[in-house]
Amino acid sequence: MSRASAHQLGFLALAILACAGTADGEPEKAPFALVIHGGAGTIRAEDFTAEREAAYRGALTAALDKGSGLLAGGASSLDVVEAVIREMEDDPLFNAGRGAVFTAAGRNELDASIMDGATTLAGGVAGVTRVRHPISAARAVMERTNHVLLAGAGAERFAEAQGLEMVDPEFFWTESRWQSLERAREKESRETAAQAEPFGTVGAVALDRNGRIAAGTSTGGMTNKKHGRIGDSPIIGAGTYANERCGVSATGHGEYFIRFAVAFDICARLRSGELTLEQAADQVIHGVLGEAGGKGGIIALDDAGTPVLIFNTDGMYRGYRVAEGEPVVAIFKND
């Protein structure tokens, strides 16, 4: 599903339906669309039990249903991106919020960002340890400060002052992520460099009935990351970007996504007018990023609601839903 394929054809049919006028001549409301990811990485069918696979597919479908229902009811893309990501932050299956991976020091340090394509306003938080929903803190930075990015203790004080839900750092602890840290530590003592476990992270891009695009991303970062390390997810232009024509949320090895300003680059290539969104994303993920050794993927939407889901890893938890069409969910490369 990572390249143009059957799902794109299905989407085209839906888009044509969505753009057609109504039978009674009323102008049709703009199509709406939602695309989400739950991280990319070494995600292979043979490593999954049927139950585990079903749990991921169920969680992705539930997130899509929730977001699409809100969009159908006229919610703004910003509200939908925030609501969907909050739900995924609470799900321990994903590396964001509860279920976030651990730093080398055995802590959970969370990063998130959100961007409103219509206004190009944006907000992010980095390295927070007590904010239950980092995506909501990112939105508060965007809407209630003159800044774009707040980090660490300052971000936490701000979130608390805004009345956001604060939790004990223990809230984010899960056994499976702790085991991942133990494995990474063992590996590190055998090899010289730290090797990350499969990437995680959650993201959403929405196009609402008013044609406004928003994008957001939230993560615990990479297992065994150094204390204080900040990845691409809270960095506007790297892990998240949106303008009036395009929205992108990324997942993968953050250092590469920062160096190549991946989310921005995809939207900039689309703006050149010579490429479709799929071609732009393909050039960046398989070309620029892949050639440099960067691993990961993106989800994106253009202003027609075309969903693009591209990655250069074994798999990416992902899904999309266009207008009233069926939700489409996939995990592995050949799903």
Q: Do residues 172 and 55 touch, judged by C-beta distance below 8 A?
A: no
Binding-site string for ligand ASP from residue 96 to residue 135, where x marks contact by CB under 6 A and - marks none: ----------------------------------------
3-state SS of the chain is: CCCCCHHHHHHHHHHHHHHCCCCCCCCCCCCCEEEEEEEEECCCHHHCCHHHHHHHHHHHHHHHHHHHHHHHCCCCHHHHHHHHHHHHHHCCCCCCCCCCCCECCCCCCEEEEEEECCCCEEEEEEEECCECCHHHHHHHHHHHCCCCEEEHHHHHHHHHHCCCCECCHHHHCCHHHHHHHHHHHHHHHHCCCCCCCCCCCEEEEEECCCCCEEEEEEECCCCCECCCCCCCCCCECCCEEECCCEEEEEEECHHHHHHCCHHHHHHHHHHCCCCCHHHHHHHHHHHHHHHHCCCEEEEEEECCCCEEEEECCCEEEEEEEECCCCCEEEEECCC
Interacting positions 135-164 with ligand ASP (CB under 6 A)? none
When binding is defined by CB under 6 A, the residue of 39, 97, 123, 307 that contacts ligand ASP is 39
Q: How far is the CB of 26 from ligand ASP (least distance, A)?
A: 43
Site for ligand ASP in 196-215 (CB under 6 A): 199-201
Looking at beta carbons only, is 2 or 233 nearer to ligand ASP?
A: 233
Return the number of the residue (180 or 306) whose C-beta is nearest ligand ASP.
Answer: 180
* Min separation Cβ 193 and ligand ASP, Å: 16
Catalytic residue set: 201
Residues 254-313 that bind ligand ASP (CB under 6 A): 254
Q: Which residue lies nearer to ligand ASP by CB, 71 or 242?
A: 242
Q: Determine the interface stretch with ligand ASP among 1-9, 175-183, 251-259, 321-329 (rule: CB under 6 A).
A: 251-259
Q: 31 or 200, CB closer to ligand ASP? A: 200
Nearer to ligand ASP by C-beta: 76 or 233? 233
Least distance to ligand ASP, CB of residue 231, Å: 2
Of residues 218-237, those binding ligand ASP (CB under 6 A): 219, 221-222, 231-233
Candidate list 252, 294, 315, 325; residue touching ligand ASP; CB under 6 A: 252
Binding site for ligand ASP (CB under 6 A): 39, 95, 199-201, 219, 221-222, 231-233, 239, 251-252, 254
